[in-house]
Chains A and B, each alone.
Chain A
Amino acid sequence: MGYDLSMRLWRGDRSGGELADYVVAVEEGEVVLDAIHRVQATQAGDLAVRWNCKAGKCGSCSAEINGRPRLLCMTRLSDFEPEETITVTPMRTFPVIRDLVTDVSYNYEKAKEVPAFAPTPPDKDGNRRMMQADVERGQEFRKCIECFLCQDTCHVIRDHDDNKSSFAGPRFFLRYAELDMHPLDTNDRRKLAQGAAGLGMCNITKCCTEVCPEHIKITDNAIIPMKERVVDRRYDPVVWLGSKILRREQRNET
């Protein structure tokens, strides 16, 4: 049961571009990336689109579909009415290279600023041990496929280019949270909090969580807990008093 789908795809590069109209034959059960591939095969051989796995696991095919940041390969055509026009643009927070492909190197720069995992020395037998409860905690964060849709949708940088220099973004707040919660990590807690200082820019409006294709609760489980950890160090009278009396300044132990 195929039908003809109307699409508007953004064509262009840094010097400019526009939404171009296409009508393409599609089949039931296909995804937006299939339709784009068919446009590429039949009508626009030079259309640039980035993809790899077509299984929602490589994080390459991020774009905006009808204005919403999504993976092209995981967005089913059946989510739309057959007569509806589907508009696809590149991610609008990053510089465009050509057509639907953007330059996401901002994210790689931010990744470099996150300290590496620095584990404690191994036990006598050469192994490192963690209890299951502690392992499970960080598991959610490791589901990240680095599609950068959360970074794309975050208004802190999407609407304010000049914040990019000081803001790591939700994907990297996950990394800071993971390190800060890791029982075997020895990075200096205070430095971690400072590194994630862009955290104060986040106003917890949860768009990153809304778009994450891995359904990671970025705001609830990483950003807010990190904000609370900052509060511990700077704004909580009880914790401050406790640290003075109990000399637990280095709460690395707990």
Chain B
Amino acid sequence: MTAGLLGAGRARIPQKTLRKDRWWLAPAATFVVFAAFVVYATWRAFTGELYYAKPYLSPFYSPCLTTECLEGSSDFGSPITWWALSPALIILVFPLGFRMTCYYYRKAYYRAFWLSPPACAVAEPHGKYSGETRFPLILQNLHRWFWYAAVAVGAVLTFDAVLAFRNEDGEWGHMGLGTLIFVVNVVLIWLYTLGCHSCRHIVGGRLRHFSKHPVRYRLWGLVSKLNEKHARYAWLSLFSVAIADLYVYLLARGTIEDLRFF
């Protein structure tokens, strides 16, 4: 046990915090929503069914690359023949890794799940603390690798949103409620992905002379704007991806009919 608030010479105040506001509300809400998403996503990823309803492919299963994929859902072929489990599990590693190592999500789950700290100036319950200096948390440094992958995932989801402008018979120029959901989802995913701190660093943050790189400096400014709202897009895109998946699930199950606009 390392000495914290009662460390050498500090004012002897026994309370772990003297905050009177509802500091526990934000971490509690984060905990509930994240836990709900994890339960939902785990269930949907493992079922391996009801993820395709022409022309919509659930974002959890896109791209669908194994021979197990439902007919018509493999827009990029099925190169993976040896995988017998749900095809979602192969793909989800990337967005999952991306979000798990995201600077914003880290803040949120360190606070809500690990209570390190639960809120500012509220003592954490851990005796020892080494931050992100050791395994496994040192792996958070791989965030940039996941960002590269996330750009590819974003491109695939954009492709899916384009494909959603077809009708059930594969004819172009049609649109339904599902199309709208897909487009909104992919826009939110891009706002989230491009506002990433690693992206901000890559486009311009790593420079020492902004003045010598005017184009990158401008890009950096744009990414910085998105970056300020990164937490918001992290939440919104989490909801939108779940809603897009749920919509496809309900369609595939026959619970609802797609509302066709034209």
Q: Mark A45-72, 1 if CB is under 8 A from B, else 0.
A: 0000000000000000000101111000
| A225–B210 CB distance below 8 A | no
Q: A133-B217, A225-B205 are in contact. Are A92 and B120 (CB under 8 A)?
A: no
| Min C-beta distance of B38 to chain A, whole Å | 20
Interface size of A in residues (CB-CB distance below 8 Å): 67
Query: In the bound complex, how far is the Cα of B133 from the Cα of A202, in angstroms?
Result: 9
* Contact of B128 (CB < 8 Å), options: A17, A160, A204, A211: A160
Interface size of B in residues (CB-CB distance below 8 Å): 60
Q: A10-B13, A131-B210, A224-B103 are in contact. Are A162 and B121 (CB under 8 A)?
A: no
| A231–B144 CB distance below 8 A | yes
| Min C-beta distance of A69 to chain B, whole Å | 6
Q: A96-B10, A203-B106 are in contact. Are A160 and B117 (CB under 8 A)?
A: no
B43 at the interface (CB under 8 A from A): no
| B106–A67 CB distance below 8 A | no
| Min C-beta distance of A51 to chain B, whole Å | 18
Query: In the bound complex, how far is the Cα of B206 from the Cα of A230, in angstroms?
Result: 10
| A103–B9 CB distance below 8 A | yes
Query: In the bound complex, how far is the Cα of B15 from the Cα of A238, in angstroms?
Result: 49
* Contact of B7 (CB < 8 Å), options: A131, A161, A254: A161
Contacts of A227 in B (CB 8 A): 141
Contacts of A69 in B (CB 8 A): 120-121
| B144–A95 CB distance below 8 A | no
Contacts of B170 in A (CB 8 A): none
| B120–A204 CB distance below 8 A | no
Query: In the bound complex, how far is the Cα of B116 from the Cα of A163, in angstroms?
Result: 15
Query: In the bound complex, how far is the Cα of B87 from the Cα of A53, in angstroms?
Result: 64
